[in-house]
């Protein structure tokens, strides 16, 4: 298993996938990682719905909006759609607000756990929830927060230094470039604006 810090640095959102199924065992393990995440007041309002069924997958896919900055260039190409989803649900009887922190922690656990198992993923909140909810047989009390699209990666996006725009782009080889703000600008030491003494190399 790869070192956790390397995994975190290596992780990129993946939107092109190989036509290879994800096993139920892996999906169940990922749900386990999601449900073990930190939870405010330990209220644990989240539930997780894995989707592998081909028909339901198609409907889920049709309810998602991908890579808004470069739409439609970032959409999964035909034959490169996700082969599984984990849908993060919120039990509104437990929490109706403030659950987003729990979702964030659970989603990242699932994403990193997936990466450790060789999976790429895309966390999505641009979802046509009104259309998706009835298809999934959800009771009124369960709300869809996020969808984690999963599959074996068929692209290798790269990080770029931020130079004035946060918008990711695709080059002529369909490689996705993702700008990230400069670490020196977002890291402060002791007093705001005070820099680390050295620009450590990782
Ligand atoms: C809360 C959240 C919601 C997101 N929603 C979407 C989405 O609806 N569609 C999509 O294609 N990507 C979505 N993303 C992925 C972001 O676009 C992606 O994380 C960002 O471009 C940075 O790329 P990186 O994940 O490779 O660092 C979402 C990410 C987060 C954290």
Is 94 touching ligand 1 by the criterion CB < 6 Å?
no
Average pLDDT, the chain: 96
144 shares a domain with 119? yes
Provide the pLDDT for residue 199: 75
Q: Kindly report the CATH number assigned to the domain that includes residue 13.
A: 3.40.109.10
Is 66 touching ligand 1 by the criterion CB < 6 Å?
yes
- Dist CA 156 CA 98 (whole Å): 34
Q: Kindly report the CATH number assigned to the domain that includes residue 162.
A: 2.20.180
Distance 107 CA to ligand 1 centre (A): 12
Q: What is the DSSP string of the chain?
A: ---HHHHHHH--B---B-S-PPPHHHHHHHHHHHHTS--GGG---EEEEEE--HHHHHHHHHTB---GGGTTTTSPPTT-S-SEEEEEEEETTT-SSSTHHHHHHHHHHHHHHHHHTT-EEEEE--B-HHHHHHHTT--TTEEEEEEEEEE-B----EEEE-SS----EE-TT--EEEEE--HHHH--BSBTTPPPSS----
Probe target for ligand 1 pocket from 81, 90, 112, 122, with the most ligand atoms within 8 Å of CB: 122
Q: How many structural domains compose the chain? A: 2
- Segments forming the whole domain that contains residue 59: 4-156
Distance 108 CA to ligand 1 centre (A): 12
Is 178 touching ligand 1 by the criterion CB < 6 Å?
yes
Residue with CA closest to ligand 1 atom 19: 13
104 shares a domain with 202? no
Is 168 touching ligand 1 by the criterion CB < 6 Å?
yes
164 shares a domain with 142? no
pLDDT in tens, the chain (202 residues): 569 999 999 999 999 999 999 999 999 999 999 999 999 999 999 999 999 999 999 999 999 999 999 999 999 999 999 999 999 999 999 999 999 999 999 999 999 999 999 999 999 999 999 999 999 999 999 999 999 999 999 999 999 999 999 999 999 999 999 999 999 899 999 999 999 988 787 7
pTM over 0.95, yes/no: yes
Distance 126 CA to ligand 1 centre (A): 9
pLDDT digits 0-9 by tens, 110-127 = 999 999 999 999 999 999
- Dist CA 12 CA 8 (whole Å): 9
Name the β-bridge partners of 91.
Answer: 142
- Dist CA 115 CA 106 (whole Å): 14
170 shares a domain with 107? no
175 shares a domain with 133? no
């Amino acid at each position: 298993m790869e070192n956790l810090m390397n995994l975190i640095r290596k992780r990129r959102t993946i939107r092109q996938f190989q036509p290879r199924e994800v096993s139920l065992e892996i999906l169940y393990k990922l749900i386990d990682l999601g449900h073990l995440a930190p939870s405010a007041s330990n209220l644990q309002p989240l539930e997780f719905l894995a989707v592998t069924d081909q028909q339901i997958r198609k409907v889920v896919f049709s309810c998602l909006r991908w890579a808004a900055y470069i739409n439609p260039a970032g959409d999964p190409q035909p034959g490169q759609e996700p082969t599984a989803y984990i849908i993060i649900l919120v039990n509104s009887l437990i929490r109706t607000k403030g659950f987003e922190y729990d979702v964030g922690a659970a989603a990242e656990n699932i994403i990193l756990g997936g990466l450790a198992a060789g999976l790429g993923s895309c966390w999505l909140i641009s979802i046509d929830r009104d259309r998706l909810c009835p298809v999934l047989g959800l009771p009124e009390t369960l709300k869809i927060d996020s969808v984690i699209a999963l599959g074996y990666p068929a692209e290798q996006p790269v990080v770029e230094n931020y130079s004035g725009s946060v918008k990711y782009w695709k080059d002529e080889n369909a490689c996705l470039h993702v700008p990230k703000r400069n670490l020196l600008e977002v890291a402060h030491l002791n007093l705001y604006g005070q820099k680390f003494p050295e620009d450590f190399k990782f």
